[in-house]
Chain A
Amino acid sequence: MLQQKHLLGLAGYPGEDIQTIIDTAFTFREVLDRPIKKVPSLQGKTIVNLFFENSTRTRISFELAQKRLSADTVNFSASTSSLKKGETFKDTAQNIEAMKIDAVVMRHPTPGAPLHLTDHIDSIVINAGDGTHEHPTQAILDMTSLHEKFGYLKGLKVGIIGDIAHSRVALSNIHGLKTMGAEVTLCGPSTLIPPFAEELGVSVNYNVDEVIEWADALNVLRIQRERMGGGLLPSVREYRNLFGITTDRLSMHKKEIVIMHPGPMNRGVEIDSSVADSDQAIILDQVLNGVASRMAILYLLLGGKQEEGDS
């Protein structure tokens, strides 16, 4: 069904597989519109949600996707501090594997941790965010939402706004969108744009108004409060002035533009409430597509119910 056993990241991920996932997500969207929202596709499969870092929406979205597909799920939340105290990552991984499971959905604060996990276990590994590296399922749901809105991805102009350097959402979106033929411009404070960003095949523009003029859609990233007031960013006011997606700013541009946000939002910081709640925002569609996309990914990776023990 898909060429790779795991979903670790979108760097180098085959475009036709991204398209397959998106198409499958649309069929699951229909399931979610039914009165009975459950299908038996993954009956008998066991999936562990292994979260080494706090997450509400990604975990719930995965869990819901698993339940809609009739998979058995177990949630495991470990604080990374317990790992620092002694239990090795390898132990945790092998313990879970020993319980005979089919797949692991993992979030971990360290880049590369999901790849590392595949060294220790045989189950399918799905990356639910590894530090500042990748968050492939988020990027796929973003692309599903864009595809739903525009009907195509090739040639689409997407601006990603905010803290790019610390964003796994940005990196996965960049890889995915480039693979699917979209154009990407990064926009944010120069201290929060990763070095060598152009090497990723994207443009960088520090002028958000120019990016708004250019783009078909904006993916507005969350600005973490802890980045404020340090060496990277002077203040919220400064950020809002330079990069905030405000009603005033959008009203200056006489054009339609689609607004996305991976959540959770800092209303009044990177995005105004009135923008987030407006018709041009597809933020809640993203949430719904998150469940559908994750259903598609799980279904395609775990092979439905027709085979046993496959990969």
Chain B
Amino acid sequence: MKTTKLKKQVLLKGGMILDPINEFLKKGDVLIENGTIKSTGKVTPSKSVDIIDCSGLIVTHGFCDIHVHFREPGREDKETLDSGSMAALAGGFTRVCVMPNTEPPLDSPESIRYTIDRAEECPIHIHPIGAITKGQDGKELTEMGVMLSEGAVAFSDDGLPVTDSGMMRNALEYATMFDVPVINHAEDLCLKKDGVMHEGKVSTHLGLPASPSITESNMVHRDLALTELTGGRLHVPHVSSAKSTDHIRQMKKSNKNITAEVTPHHLFFTDEDLTSYNTNLKVAPPIRTRTDQEALIHGVKDGTFDCIATDHAPHTVEEKEGTFDLAPFGMIGLESCLGAVNRVLVKENKIDLTRLVQMLTVNPRRIMGFETDLLAEGSPAELVIFDPNKKWTFHKNDIRSRSQNSPYLGEELIGRPLITIVKGHITSLELD
């Protein structure tokens, strides 16, 4: 992977421009001048222009992942804002939102400011999500107003649910003043107990403690009802079950303030993949059954899910090579994202590529209130160029994260980002 400063004039020549806002896909050039979009379509460049041949490739908005864990501050051995940025660039992501479950958590205006300052130095755009409650312990609301003015974009205690329904109500109600999303990691801990996977036929075979899908869907249902009650904005993260998908679909019919995301891994894997006790597949909420997987894909088709988010959650090799009960929950996902979702959704389930790109670009940006029209003239260049048909096998040396906890190792993926342009720089993935 090589990053260089953008030349004064750069021409992305002969690619298929995919505009996820106006929903068109057509052949054309993109001229970038002084780091901003100069023109698109048929461009006649001056002779000093730096030409990048994009024939056969898709040119579109840089991907945006609104759910990642970059572990800084506190667990820089797992990931930093810098190493996470490299993982993002390798996956075609130009913008991410980092979850606040760091050590200490991002639960104060000062910690938000710290992240914003650190993010300045990083090669991608990084936005902090603030904690809902101080110390993420579910008892006291954080100073949401001041945190927002320091740069927070949403609120979540992700990793932990807001168990107390009254507290969740307060959070949604309080956040209505600012019109920002509240994101709750929905898992009923009383039902979850010591569960480490989805409760079903496979868990019975493996003898692992497990929790049923209502562990998630009951709390999703509660949050949806609280959103209706308070008029707040709810974003449901990493939906894993058919039941939760149904609840969200139902409530979205009458409430415009609800959005939802689905992860690549819940779309790609099923609990049957856990029969090897691969700790890299230990995630929360867990990978569920084929029926759930099909329901999630259906939820993508009918628009129940607004966006794809990776829940990129790095953990050390040491932690993940322990036994299944002791390994922490989470997997990395930025580098493998496009190849995984493009394979499952576009290639195997015939979902339109434009729809997929919308779920990786304009939709997540809308949820967070970011600038969306990235192909407009004068817009700072924030683009990705990818090959939608490239078949490749995911290897360790494709990982840019500091951690290696990926269950995609050895899996065949289809579609690969090749060039990412953001913050006045161009990064190319150098393939052998």
A and B physically associate: yes
Given the complex of chains A and B, what is the CA–CA distance between A90 and B212 in angstroms?
A: 31
Known: A84-B326, A89-B323. A112 touches B206 (CB 8 A): yes
Chain A residues whose C-beta falls within 8 Å of the C-beta of B205 in the assembled complex: 11, 171, 200
Asked whether A29 is an interface residue with its Cβ less than 8 Å from the other chain, the reply is: no
Give the residues from 223 to 269 in chain A that come closer than 8 angstroms, CB to CB, to chain B.
none
Contact between B199 and A132, CB atoms less than 8 A apart: no
Asked whether B268 is an interface residue with its Cβ less than 8 Å from the other chain, the reply is: no
Contact with A along B188-214 (1 / 0, CB 8 A): 000000000001110111111110100
Complex: chain A residue closest to B325, CB-CB: A110
Complex: chain A residue closest to B323, CB-CB: A110
Given the complex of chains A and B, what is the CA–CA distance between A109 and B322 in angstroms?
A: 13
Asked whether A115 is an interface residue with its Cβ less than 8 Å from the other chain, the reply is: yes
Given the complex of chains A and B, what is the CA–CA distance between A116 and B321 in angstroms?
A: 9
Contact between A88 and B322, CB atoms less than 8 A apart: yes
Contact between A133 and B323, CB atoms less than 8 A apart: no
Contact between B209 and A132, CB atoms less than 8 A apart: yes
Which residue, of A110, A113, A132, A171, has the highest number of chain B Cβ atoms within 10 A?
A110
Asked whether B324 is an interface residue with its Cβ less than 8 Å from the other chain, the reply is: yes
**A-contacting residues of B (Cβ < 8 Å)?**
199-201, 203-210, 212, 276-277, 318, 321-326
Complex: chain A residue closest to B321, CB-CB: A90
Known: A130-B207, A134-B207. A112 touches B277 (CB 8 A): yes
Given the complex of chains A and B, what is the CA–CA distance between A113 and B323 in angstroms?
A: 6
Chain A residues whose C-beta falls within 8 Å of the C-beta of B209 in the assembled complex: 132
Known: A111-B277, A116-B277. A132 touches B322 (CB 8 A): no
Given the complex of chains A and B, what is the CA–CA distance between A110 and B321 in angstroms?
A: 13
Closest 4 CB pairs of A and B: A133-B207, A112-B277, A110-B323, A111-B207
Say how far A2's CB is from chain B's closest CB, in angstroms. 21
Given the complex of chains A and B, what is the CA–CA distance between A231 and B212 in angstroms?
A: 17
Residue from B200, B207, B208, B276 in contact with A196 in the complex, judged by beta carbons closer than 8 Å: B200
Give the residues from 81 to 126 in chain A that come closer than 8 angstroms, CB to CB, to chain B.
83-84, 88-90, 108-113, 115-116
Q: List 27 A-B contacts (CB under 8 A).
A: A83-B326, A88-B318, A88-B321, A88-B322, A89-B321, A89-B323, A90-B322, A108-B323, A109-B325, A110-B323, A110-B326, A111-B207, A111-B208, A111-B325, A112-B323, A115-B276, A116-B323, A131-B325, A132-B208, A133-B208, A194-B204, A195-B199, A195-B200, A195-B204, A196-B200, A196-B201, A200-B204
Chain A interface bracket (under 10, 10 to 19, 20 to 34, 35 or more): 20 to 34
Which residue, of B209, B277, B321, B324, has the highest number of chain A Cβ atoms within 10 A?
B277
**B-contacting residues of A (Cβ < 8 Å)?**
11, 83-84, 88-90, 108-113, 115-116, 130-134, 168, 171, 194-197, 199-200
Complex: chain B residue closest to A84, CB-CB: B326
Given the complex of chains A and B, what is the CA–CA distance between A236 and B201 in angstroms?
A: 30
Residue from A90, A131, A197 in contact with B207 in the complex, judged by beta carbons closer than 8 Å: A131
Given the complex of chains A and B, what is the CA–CA distance between A99 and B318 in angstroms?
A: 23
Given the complex of chains A and B, what is the CA–CA distance between A108 and B199 in angstroms?
A: 22
Given the complex of chains A and B, what is the CA–CA distance between A115 and B322 in angstroms?
A: 12
Complex: chain A residue closest to B326, CB-CB: A84
Given the complex of chains A and B, what is the CA–CA distance between A195 and B191 in angstroms?
A: 14
Given the complex of chains A and B, what is the CA–CA distance between A226 and B198 in angstroms?
A: 25
Given the complex of chains A and B, what is the CA–CA distance between A199 and B322 in angstroms?
A: 30
Contact between B201 and A199, CB atoms less than 8 A apart: yes
